Amino acid sequence: MAEEKRPLNFIEQIIEEDLQNTHKREELKFRFPPEPNGYLHIGHASSICLNFGLGEKYNAPVNLRFDDTNPIKEEQEFVDAIKEDVLWLGFKWEKECYASDYFQQLYDWAVEMIKNGDAYVDSQTSEEIAMQKGTPTEPGKESPYRKRSIEENLDLFEKMKNGETPERGHVLRAKINMESPNMLMRDPVMYRCLHKSHHRTKDNWKIYPMYDWAHGESDFIESISHSFCTLEFLPHRELYNWFVEKVSKEGELKPKQREFARRNLSHTVVSKRKLMQLVEKGVVNSWDDPRMPTISGLRRRGYTPNAIRKFADSIGVGKRENMIDVAHLEFCAREDLNKTAPRVMGVLDPVKLVITNYEEGKEEWLEAENNPEDESAGNREIPFSRELYIEKEDFKESANRKFFRLTLGKEVRLKNAYIIKGEEVVKDSEGNITEIHCTYDPKSKSGSGTEESMRKVKGTLHWVSAKHALETEIRLYDRLFSVENPDGDKEKDFMEFINPESLQVIKGYVEPSLKSAGIQDKFQFQRIGYFCVDKESKEGQPIFNRTVTLRDSWAKKK
């Protein structure tokens, strides 16, 4: 049966129309242009998948360009993290570019614009400039410095470049139209004085280009055919085109900006400023804390590149912003891990189970399937003995008929092992159960083919042998915020909605095979959820992060 062909999204429709009317296929070129002022998050993942996905679809190059025009916020650490994230998602860029590579060209173009009467040096304060820009319903007023001579502008601009003027002394503005209905066209600032060291150009520059001036010109320099950005840049498109027109010549390929809507994710925030607050205030431990919506946080939590790409593909691109339930992202993780993660047994809240008719000191190794979804995954052996650990919630002294786990007088099967029957309990002085005593049917061993092994019982429990169990730290991660839209209430700080139960650290027991598990190895703890080995683990002492529960437990909580 032929694979069903999905309809083109509106971005692909734009490209197809351009290929018919204005562009040659070999002219197609895309870019992903992050600003290195923080770690990438799940929203960036969608943009990465869009731009690099278009590159794969049209066999076109895609540049990774860092829009590094603000030395105050940008660091090499963020550059390195961004590159790691893009590679981890499975994409390769054609060229690694930086807006800072183009500082000299941008400066030269700005000088030409001054000579052509398209730019001028303004000596007003930023507050004065904001005041004279007007409002969306009132036109702006021209700066008193707008009619400066070309010679004076050139002299002042060179002094700005050389650091001979104070940081807030002057700015360079484009000379466009102070009465434009688009506020961004009212003589926007192109350069500001900033005496800060840049992570790449060091102290070579004392002026830095504004984003609107650098972005479109960088696209033009790199021969980008289509520049896709989020919807808040729609009003910037007119300015983007105006700047490109000023530096391009007739017949040259000009980049085409088009916009798509952000996809917001429930129970999280994706503002870099707010994510930085979470880190700086110690709400989370780092940018890659597994509760963070950063790509590095999701990776550390155990999400796979394939799950994130499937998520991005399934939500698509649209023209309207909307809220995507984080449960959908979790579903993509479960679906992918279900196919690939080996099954193992771990007990998170243990109580001891003693099989009274099992010979003391005896142990045997039972065969268990690694992954029923993958025939090639094979089997492993797990130890079985007289004393085991099971989950506390898997036992009740007495229960109704709908409780399909262990109770006194009732039979259940131990996964990959025997049928057992609850007989009695041992309690401490406070009435807490410390041991459950049971008996087992020696002929009921799973897979033995005996009549007893075929006997149907309604419950199956996971377990670990107490003698062989590996005690380990397990980190149970949950949603960082307790409400769907932490940014939604403008009267409250988003920090007020932090989920106090977003992380629980417990000690549990896992089967001994996991002693050799490596960093980032992923497993399904049967009947519990998906877990991966954290980077803070030591040799022989794995720490497990819960990626997602086996089912959507949040919906049940609500």
Kindly list the catalytic residues.
35, 262, 272
Q: Which is it for the CA torsion 502, 507, 509, 510, positive or negative?
A: positive
> How far apart are the C-alpha atoms of 396 and 78, rounded to whole Å?
52
Best CA proximity match to 176, nearest among 143, 135, 208: 143
> How far apart are the C-alpha atoms of 440 and 417, rounded to whole Å?
10
The answer to whether residues 526 and 343 touch, using CB atoms and an 8 Å cutoff, is: yes
> How far apart are the C-alpha atoms of 212 and 203, rounded to whole Å?
23
Largest CA-CA distance found in the chain, in angstroms, rounded: 101
The answer to whether residues 385 and 363 touch, using CB atoms and an 8 Å cutoff, is: yes
Quickly count: other Cβ atoms within 10 Å of residue 153's Cβ.
23
Best CA proximity match to 535, nearest among 298, 300, 292: 300
The answer to whether residues 254 and 285 touch, using CB atoms and an 8 Å cutoff, is: no
554's tokens: 């949040």
Read out DSSP for 359-405?
PTT-EEEEEEES-TT-GGG-EEEEEEESEEEEEGGGEESS--TT--S
* DSSP reduced 3-state for 217: helix
> How far apart are the C-alpha atoms of 411 and 421, rounded to whole Å?
4
Task: Tell me the C-alpha to C-alpha distance, in Å, between residue 95 and each of 23, 84, 237.
Answer: 22, 15, 25
